Amino acid sequence: MKILLLTFPVALLVAYSQIMVKWRMMSINVVEIQNLPLLPRLLKYFSDPFILSAYATAFLSSLVWMYVVTKLPLAVAFPVYIGITFLLVIVGGWQFLAEEITVMRLVSATLILSGIALGVK
């Protein structure tokens, strides 16, 4: 339970940042931006407050991660964090981005979580 309590906040922050970047990239008019030179295109991306919030959240997650790895063995913390993040991104993609949850995705999530459960014991 301690493992989940420590790794869940990191996974939640990372999942938020990934979903937010994907959502904004879908929202920004890519056709209008794709012909811009690299620097103006990057300025357009980084002037978006939602993308900035995603990167700020990713940075915050790295700070929380530093705390987590001082409390747990890396060989335990990392797979649990990745597994939880994977699940949160699947659910978040489905809920917020209208992505499909396929049988194959469910099977792969089950296999990943099974492997993590076996590996952390």
At residue 82, the pLDDT reads 92
CB atoms within 10 A of CB 67: 12
Question: Where exactly are the structural domains of the chain?
Answer: 2-119
Spell out the per-residue pLDDT of the chain, length 121, in tens: 788 899 999 999 999 999 999 999 888 766 677 778 888 888 888 888 999 999 999 999 999 999 999 999 999 999 999 999 999 999 999 999 999 999 999 999 899 889 888 877 7
Long-range contacts made by residues 76-79, C-beta under 8 angstroms, separation at least 24?
76/3, 76/120, 77/3, 77/6, 77/7, 79/115, 79/116, 79/119, 79/120
Global pTM reads: 0.85
C-beta of residue 64 within 8 angstroms of C-beta of residue 13? yes
* CA–CA dist 10, 88 (Å, integer): 11
